[in-house]
Amino acid sequence: MKTRFLSILLAIALLTALTACESPAAPDDLGTSQSPTESGVSEDTPADDTTEQSDESLGLFQTDATLAETVLVDENGVKITASGLTYTAYSVDLELTIENNSGKDLSFVSGSLGYSCNSVNGYMIDGGYLNCDVSDGKKANDAISFGYDALMLYGINEIADIEIGISMTDNDYNTTYTGPRQVKTSAAETHDYDTDHYQDTITSRAAMNTYGYKMIHFSQDSLYDQGGVKLLSSGVMINRDGENALLLELENTTDNMVYLSTSDIAINGLLVNSSIWSSDAINPGKCRIVDVDLSSVLDTDYWSVYGITQVGTLSLSLGQHNTDGIEISAEAPIKIVIPDVDTSFDGTGTEIYNSNGLKIMFKTIVKDPSDYSSDLHVLLLAENNSGKTLTIEDAYDSLSVNGFMTDYSYYNQELGNGQSAVIELKLWESSLADNQISSVSDIQEIEFGLEIKEGYTTMDEPILTLVFEGSN
């Protein structure tokens, strides 16, 4: 995931950063009626243990809005009709009737990794999944569900409008995309579109209590305004498990869909991912909450290895592409500074390479923190003082452990001059087991090759060896 384009960021969606948290009250559940408008933090006052506590929680999702039957698509023998809204204990469902008289059997998909342009009340929503096969000449009834949890964390407690996009694919894999199609409910005329409900909610004590997180920093500083896409707010949250996430609220003021990408992610000045991390669609006139799960970019268990105790600064680049993948705005850097927080990292280690201004140091080998994996991770640190921008790649299939070729994963890093970066080699559990290696203590030697480039020019191709004295 670190080195590949993601059509839509689902794996690190906002609720992923809030695992093990409570859910807001569903329509039939007990709950309070407080409105999520009282802010628990301000732009200048991060939420911490000294912030006044309360037992306030988010109230009920409003289930009064209704939807008149609305034709969304009526083209080329395909008719898709939104027939109404249904409220369950956990979600609001947009009911659909699909009629296929196209002459071909078709698969209808919405909210997938490959095509997702769904929004509710002006905010892009990662969700609302549909997968429905309809034979030629047939009809089908199906529904797109939006969970209350996700909606209410965005400040959405009623349905005023829904936009969905659907892909239609035949048996020969020819695909047609509808683009966003909107339906409005009975609440649309009275809904307050001028208020930023997301900002009011995400910083509120009610939301923090309900979902079990703290907003340790929040700002409305305009750090990005490129090509009609504006950053409205930025926030850093931490959940009950100590996992951190960066939230960026962006608005697309143009008349065209924009794909916004994140890359060059650095924590406290230490580059942890230089490649494209996420790419998210923003419909015209809509807002998108881009969620960068910092605990996924660099696993929280590794932070102490690099001397990171808390988030003090965050930097990343934002870029824009159109629906054809053509760049419409070059990557531009932004930097978020949390006041009065240590912004350092540990740049020390055992030197294993030093040439032409590039130094690479060994930090440690750790077992995968997951209970479901015994992969081993070799953690290194690169420091670039060459005066050039360098890319550190691996020499393909070059790694051995104790003299045995070993399968591994590696993600390239591109470092600017004066920059330090995390370098990680993941040794696969299955390959280690084939060579009778089950723990770090079984390793006597690791050998691997790197290719160091400036642009497309190879500067060096070192073979590096790690020798562990006293290993069994």
- DSSP secondary structure, 62-105, as one string: P-------EEEEEETTEEEEEEEEEE-SSEEEEEEEEEE-SSS-
Side chain identity at residue 77, one-letter code: G
CATH label of the domain that carries residue 416: 2.60.40.1230
* Pick from 244, 245, 307: nearest CA to 270: 307
Both 175 and 26 in one domain: the answer is yes
d(CA 353, CA 452): 12
What is the structure's pLDDT at 55? 78
91-111 b/e with 16+ CB inside 10 Å = b? bbbbbbbbbbebebebebbbb
What is the structure's pLDDT at 156? 95
Q: Specify the 3-state DSSP secondary structure of 148.
A: helix
Domain final residue pick, 211, 229, 245: 211
Q: 338 - beta bridge partners?
A: none
d(CA 131, CA 166): 10
d(CA 245, CA 263): 15
Does any domain span residue 256? no
Tokens of 211: 């979902």
Q: Specify the 3-state DSSP secondary structure of 358.
A: strand
Q: How far is CA 263 from CA 291, 324, 447, in A?
A: 13, 19, 29
What is the structure's pLDDT at 103? 96
Residue 387: Cβ within 10 Å count: 10
What is the structure's pLDDT at 248? 96
- Domain, as residue range, for 444: 350-467
Does any domain span residue 415? yes
Does any domain span residue 236? no
Does any domain span residue 147? yes
Does any domain span residue 452? yes
Does any domain span residue 402? yes
Q: Which residues contact 381 (CB under 8 A, 6 or more apart)?
A: 306, 347, 349, 360, 361, 363, 420, 421, 422, 423
Q: How many domains does the chain have?
A: 2
What is the structure's pLDDT at 349? 96
Domain final residue pick, 173, 194, 211: 211
Q: Which residues contact 457 (CB under 8 A, 6 or more apart)?
A: none
Does any domain span residue 92? yes
Does any domain span residue 34? yes
What is the structure's pLDDT at 38? 38
What is the structure's pLDDT at 454? 96
What is the structure's pLDDT at 2? 33
What is the structure's pLDDT at 241? 83
Q: How far is CA 80 from CA 73, 77, 98, 420, in A?
A: 5, 10, 5, 53
d(CA 315, CA 416): 13
Domain final residue pick, 156, 191, 211: 211
Q: How does DSSP classify residue 204?
A: B
Its pTM stands at 0.86
Per-residue model confidence as pLDDT tens for the chain (472 residues): 332 222 222 222 333 333 434 444 444 433 333 333 334 444 444 444 434 556 788 889 999 999 999 999 999 999 999 999 999 998 999 999 999 999 999 999 998 877 889 999 999 998 789 999 999 999 999 999 998 888 998 999 999 999 999 999 999 999 999 999 999 999 999 999 999 999 999 999 999 988 888 999 999 999 999 999 999 999 999 988 888 999 999 999 999 999 999 999 999 999 999 999 999 999 999 999 998 999 889 999 999 999 999 999 999 999 999 988 899 999 999 999 999 988 899 999 999 999 999 999 999 999 998 888 999 999 999 999 999 999 999 999 999 999 999 999 999 999 999 999 999 999 999 999 999 998 999 999 999 999 999 999 999 999 999 999 755 4
* E strand residue ranges, 126-219: 130-134, 138-147, 161-164, 167-170, 175-177, 181-184, 213-219
d(CA 123, CA 125): 6
Q: Specify the 3-state DSSP secondary structure of 350.
A: strand
Strands 258-267 and 404-405: unpaired
